[in-house]
């Protein structure tokens, strides 16, 4: 090994991991007066890779000492002379750093090839891959840098298209910043998000008006009437339904897979949680009590003599109201909007998702998936925890 004029050497250590390797080698470097400029270490399945970038004032004797120590430690050691960055050179803006999180039932070579090839084709430079799951390869973080020529929004759309085409894993693109790991509140829709059903459809079937309600819903979806009017018409069809039916349904809501884990871990980590739903308060309050959610806002059905009147009480929780409630809650809790996550599945969740620092479309229609910051379709609701950068071990500790 012949050092460059800068005296910089990259020392790469590989082999079976065991305690004391890093301590021994850095001790030798310290004794020799070497300046440590950079370090990176990773252990995969018991195999160590350790890289040390050092500047040597005097290289005599150091390589042989390190090689002798490596033999005793049972590892391989490689030296490479490199140029150090010129601190006097013109400083260029650092490339934007992003984290791509992939979540699936199992991520194999095919999935990682598709993802890494796509990123390379878009000009993203892959710097680091971190495994988040423990027992199987179910989630990984890919840390990438993007050149100025790459538009993050365009990359997000192309990654969404990739995940929709593959349909076995979800992909999220987030800017690597202070706020990515400092989220403090999660706001969720209820129907078809926290629970697997639409409460109004179940009530309509129980009251024998399921087809009529479905026709009104279909008209609203095609833009033939606004949300408020469609809700009024559907609720009107529930007039005369025994309130006991509503309470029985609320007591047995089928939770979405991963919902209990998600809320339990969020609570343990100190997050504030809320349900903001266009559904009904009896169900939302039951869900709030069952899961330990902090806040619940939804439409209130008017009752009279143990029957539903076919009317709602108070303002309708529509798309605009959902976004307003999210902002009010954040302000009330002293939390920045950048620290809020919003999760929903329908068109009336769009404004709420746009107001939040991270908007997640969960098992949603393509239109909402394209508009949201990211989407989850292949995974369960607790896959959201991986988007926070949490590992499987951390989730076990928090759970």
pLDDT at 392: 81
Select from 347, 381, 348 the least CA-distant residue to 362.
Answer: 381
d(CA 374, CA 163): 11
Residues of the chain with pLDDT under 50: 1
The one catalytic residue in 17, 191, 349, 382 is 191
Select from 11, 85, 55, 102 the least CA-distant residue to 378.
Answer: 102
Residue 64, SS3 per DSSP: helix
- Contact (CB, 8 A) for 159 and 173: yes
In this structure, what DSSP letter does residue 383 have? G
List pLDDT tens digits, range 106-141: 888 988 999 999 999 988 999 999 889 887 888 999
d(CA 391, CA 397): 10
Q: Dihedral, CA atoms, 159, 137, 181, 327, nearest 10 degrees?
A: 60
List pLDDT tens digits, range 253-295: 999 999 999 999 999 999 999 999 999 999 999 999 999 999 9
pTM of the model: 0.84
Q: Tell the burial category of 267 from Cβ atoms under 10 Å away from its Cβ (0-12, 13-18, 19+).
A: middle
In this structure, what DSSP letter does residue 184 have? -
Chain-centroid distance, C-alpha 223 = 31
Is 191 a catalytic site residue?
yes
d(CA 105, CA 139): 8
Is 373 a catalytic site residue?
no
pLDDT at 11: 93
pLDDT at 213: 95
pLDDT at 85: 60
The one catalytic residue in 17, 170, 189, 345 is 189
**Strand extents, DSSP E, the chain:** 8-16, 35-44, 47-55, 75-81, 96-104, 125-131, 139-146, 169-175, 185-188, 272-280, 295-304, 307-313, 340-344, 358-362, 374-376
d(CA 26, CA 41): 13
pLDDT at 60: 67
């Amino acid at each position: 090994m012949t050092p460059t004029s800068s005296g910089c050497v990259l020392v790469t250590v590989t082999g079976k991991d065991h305690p004391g390797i890093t301590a021994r080698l850095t001790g030798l470097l310290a004794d020799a007066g070497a300046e440590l400029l950079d370090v990176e270490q990773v252990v995969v399945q018991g195999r160590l890779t350790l890289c040390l970038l050092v500047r040597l004032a005097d290289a005599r004797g150091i390589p042989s000492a390190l090689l002798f120590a490596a033999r005793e430690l049972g590892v391989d050691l490689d030296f490479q002379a490199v140029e150090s960055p010129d601190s006097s050179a013109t400083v260029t803006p650092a490339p934007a750093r992003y984290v791509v999180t992939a979540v699936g039932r199992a991520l194999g070579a095919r999935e990682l090839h598709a993802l890494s090839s796509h990123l390379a084709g878009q000009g993203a430079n892959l710097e680091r891959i971190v495994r988040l799951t423990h027992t199987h390869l179910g989630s990984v973080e890919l840390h990438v840098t993007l050149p100025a020529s790459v538009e993050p929004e365009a990359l997000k759309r192309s990654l969404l298209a990739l995940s929709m085409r593959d349909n076995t894993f979800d992909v999220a693109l987030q800017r690597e910043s202070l706020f990515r790991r400092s989220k403090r509140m999660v706001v969720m829709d209820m129907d078809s998000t926290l629970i697997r059903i639409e409460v109004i459809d179940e009530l309509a079937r129980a009251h024998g008006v399921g087809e009529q309600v479905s026709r009104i819903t279909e008209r609203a979806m095609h833009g033939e009437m606004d949300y408020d009017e469609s809700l009024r018409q559907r609720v009107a069809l529930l007039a005369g339904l025994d309130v006991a039916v509503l309470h029985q349904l609320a007591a047995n809501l089928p939770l979405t897979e991963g919902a209990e884990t998600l809320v339990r871990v969020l609570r343990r980590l100190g997050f504030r949680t809320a349900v903001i739903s266009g559904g009904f308060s009896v169900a939302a309050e039951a869900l709030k009590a069952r899961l330990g959610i902090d806040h619940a806002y939804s439409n209130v059905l008017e009752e009279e003599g143990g029957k539903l009147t076919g009317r709602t009480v108070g303002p309708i929780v529509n798309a605009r109201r959902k976004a307003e409630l999210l902002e009010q809650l954040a302000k009330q809790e002293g939390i920045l909007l950048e620290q809020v996550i919003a999760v929903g599945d329908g068109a009336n969740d769009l404004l709420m998702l746009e107001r939040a620092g991270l908007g997640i479309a969960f098992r949603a229609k393509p239109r909402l998936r394209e508009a949201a910051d990211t989407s989850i379709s292949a995974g369960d609701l607790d896959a959201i925890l991986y988007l926070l950068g949490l590992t499987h071990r951390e989730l076990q500790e928090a759970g």
